[in-house]
Structure 1
Amino acid sequence: MFHPNPGRRAALGVAGAAVLLLSLAACGEKENSSEPGAGPSVSASADSGLAAKVPDTIKADGVIKVGTDSTYAPAEFLDQDGKTVVGFDVELFNAVAQKLGLKAQYESAPFDSILPGIESGKYEVGVSSFTINADRLKTVNMVSYYSAGTQWATKAGNPGKVDPENACGKKIAVQVGTVQLDDITARSKKCTDAGKPAISIDQYQAQSDATAAIVSGKDDAMLADSPVGAYAVKQSNGQLEVLGDIYESAPYGYAVKKDQQAFAEVLKEAVQAVITEGSYKSALAKWGVEGGAITNAELNPSA
């Protein structure tokens, strides 16, 4: 999920094939060990030196309170019990928290409420596939840990004959507040500026809703972060296909309150430590998303 403003990511009222997809993508069904995410959790060894650098206000209760939008498979989504948040973002941040001698405690929330929740102190970290960009860096500190681009997807066979470079007049699904929403809004303006029909943009609070809209035929195509789009296609059992190439890759970042610079610094060191240790690679490999691996964590990289 790519996002410039706070936002990204079904409705079970969408019947038939859409419900099947939801049961797979939103609930994270794992039938055997060959499925992404199957197998034991990846763990990291605690680093006493890093743990000592964690501000007392963070480590006092032994947990890091994490805000996440759990509708964004395979990054963060609810497991079969409907309560436990799983995914590669979760797997990786659990290892980072362990490196700091802490336990991550996840709270599901609408994507566009997470950054305000960090600013208010409701959450200590935002772990929700936040793309690092200039707008977000104005309000929070961000530590890079992964790289993703945007990927289009459509129903198998592309019945709507969607061309990402000329989607004028098409119905396109995106998650609220995402980088993809900015992307498709700019594309629609380009259409109208050229005297062509605007793109009909359907915004969904949950990415799983956007995916279901494609499966049902309500919308012609969707935009999402590259690992999310690829995962949705894989889980659709041939009902969806990717459309075009991945573009505009940018880093994901953990979000921390702007006045907690010291915590952001040690968080960056912890990410670098799990990269060096190898638990980073193991966490990504478990979910089949190694393609977005980075080698150096950065604090507030230019966007």
Structure 2
Amino acid sequence: MRPARASVVVTALAVASSLSLAACGSDSLDSGGAKASSAAGSATAAASQAVDQALAAKVPAKIKQAGVLKVGSDASYAPNEFIGDDGKTVTGMDVDLFTAAAQKLGLKADFQNAEFPSIILGVTSGKFDVGVSSFTINDDRKQKVNMVQYFNAGTLWAVKKGNPKQVDPAKACGLKVGVQKGTVQIDDLTARSKKCTDGGQPAITQIVETEQSKVTADLSSGKVDAMAADSPITNYAVKQTNGQLEKVGELYDSAPYGIVVPKDQKDLADAIGGAFAALEKSGDYKKILEKWNNADGAVTEFPVNP
């Protein structure tokens, strides 16, 4: 699992906008300064949610009166958050999940596109009420904000349909593996390859591309035997290639994503966690993940600052 999202930009398969491949966001809290960004509107979740009055009672009065949660999100990270076909609306898995959670609290989620490094600063300064942008939960962030666990991501491999090369990620010596430049998967493959050569077996050949779309194309064309990427990205590639690819092996090196909430608003964080728990209980949480082909990242608990 990559601990940093910040430096990698790739092209999504289904959208024209570029996106960061490495899941989970930067570990750094140094935002440098928030950049003004245009509001991208709110996406609609898979199903409208009834308000949970007990959870809604925990919402701060100012937010409850406004009826809206201002959400900072870097819409460059398909399928989790990206700009939709209309060229302005933020959409994606995280958007559907959080929109449904906000509805449980009797609120509308207003997603506003922002540069990733600026989002936490935007939350702590009051520009945004929350941040929803595939943030990895880590100790540095928990010192500044509350984080509500809602998803798990890790590394996941894909192969051509039917796995013609009989690829096993645990036995990858001698394979050609596609990977996107600047991702943690390069470190992973390098370590795996060293074990191969130390044991007298052939190295893993990394075919490195600048854009994830090219990595996926390399696999579809047979240029590589397999590809390795963050799990939401691999799942999305499998779905978008209409049966040309399939997942192989198990997700590994996983870590949780968290919703960013101001440090002084623990009640709001608890309410958001409760809303996700309610979605999990009703089955809507799983339905949304399945819609985005990411059910294998589901969690069953939604604690604050785990």
Does TM, normalized by the shorter one, top 0.5? yes
In the alignment, structure 1 residue 271 sits paired with structure 2 residue 271: no
Are the counterparts in 2 of residues 215 and 239 from structure 1 also a CA contact under 8 Å? no
Residue 68 of structure 1, CA deviation: 1.7
What is residue 7 of structure 1 aligned with on the other side? Answer: 6
What is residue 180 of structure 2 aligned with on the other side? Answer: 173
Give the secondary-structure state (helix, strand or coil) at the position aligned to 1:138. Answer: helix
Q: Deviations over 1:216-261 (max 9, x none)?
A: 79x9786533132121133135676656542122222111122322
What is residue 257 of structure 1 aligned with on the other side? Answer: 262
Aligned residues: percent identity?
Answer: 44
- The change in CA–CA distance for 1:184 and 1:255 in structure 2 (over 3 A counts) is farther
Letter in 2 for 1:173: Q
In the alignment, structure 1 residue 215 sits paired with structure 2 residue 212: no
In the alignment, structure 1 residue 280 sits paired with structure 2 residue 278: no
What is residue 30 of structure 1 aligned with on the other side? Answer: none
Q: Deviations over 1:139-198 (max 9, x none)?
A: 321111122221245789999x9x78679x988425x7xxxx456447658989x99x9x
Are the counterparts in 2 of residues 272 and 297 from structure 1 also a CA contact under 8 Å? yes
Are the counterparts in 2 of residues 70 and 109 from structure 1 also a CA contact under 8 Å? yes
In the alignment, structure 1 residue 236 sits paired with structure 2 residue 238: no
C-alpha distance in 2, partners of 1:190/1:135?
29
Are the counterparts in 1 of residues 158 and 238 from structure 2 also a CA contact under 8 Å? yes
- The change in CA–CA distance for 1:111 and 1:212 in structure 2 (over 3 A counts) is farther
1:72 to 73, 77, 83: 77
Letter in 2 for 1:108: N
Letter in 2 for 1:210: Q
Are the counterparts in 1 of residues 177 and 228 from structure 2 also a CA contact under 8 Å? no
Are the counterparts in 2 of residues 10 and 212 from structure 1 also a CA contact under 8 Å? no
Letter in 1 for 2:276: V
Structure 2: tracts of 5 or more residues without a match? 20-43
Aligned residues: CA RMSD: 4.2
C-alpha distance in 1, partners of 2:192/2:143?
28
What is residue 119 of structure 1 aligned with on the other side? Answer: 124
Letter in 2 for 1:89: D
- The change in CA–CA distance for 1:234 and 1:25 in structure 2 (over 3 A counts) is farther
C-alpha distance in 2, partners of 1:40/1:260?
25
Letter in 2 for 1:232: A
Aligned pair count reads 272
What is residue 294 of structure 1 aligned with on the other side? Answer: 299
Residue 8 of structure 1, CA deviation: 7.3
- The change in CA–CA distance for 1:42 and 1:262 in structure 2 (over 3 A counts) is same
What is residue 36 of structure 1 aligned with on the other side? Answer: none
Residue 135 of structure 1, CA deviation: 3.5
Residue 64 of structure 1, CA deviation: 0.8
Q: Deviations over 1:116-143 (max 9, x none)?
A: 3323332221212223233332332111
C-alpha distance in 1, partners of 2:228/2:7?
10
Residue 294 of structure 1, CA deviation: 2.1
- The change in CA–CA distance for 1:66 and 1:135 in structure 2 (over 3 A counts) is same
Letter in 1 for 2:302: A
C-alpha distance in 2, partners of 1:233/1:288?
9
For residues 55-70 of structure 1, what are the structure 2 equivalents within 5 Å?
55-70=60-75
Structure 1: tracts of 5 or more residues without a match? 13-17, 28-38
Q: Which has the higher contact order (CA 8 A, sep 6+)?
A: 1
2:135 to 121, 130, 138: 130
C-alpha distance in 1, partners of 2:139/2:291?
31
- The change in CA–CA distance for 1:285 and 1:235 in structure 2 (over 3 A counts) is closer
- The change in CA–CA distance for 1:260 and 1:3 in structure 2 (over 3 A counts) is farther
C-alpha distance in 2, partners of 1:123/1:94?
15
Are the counterparts in 2 of residues 6 and 112 from structure 1 also a CA contact under 8 Å? no
- The change in CA–CA distance for 1:233 and 1:41 in structure 2 (over 3 A counts) is closer
Residue 292 of structure 1, CA deviation: 2.4
Are the counterparts in 1 of residues 51 and 106 from structure 2 also a CA contact under 8 Å? yes
- The alignment's TM-score, normalised by the length of structure 2, stands at 0.68
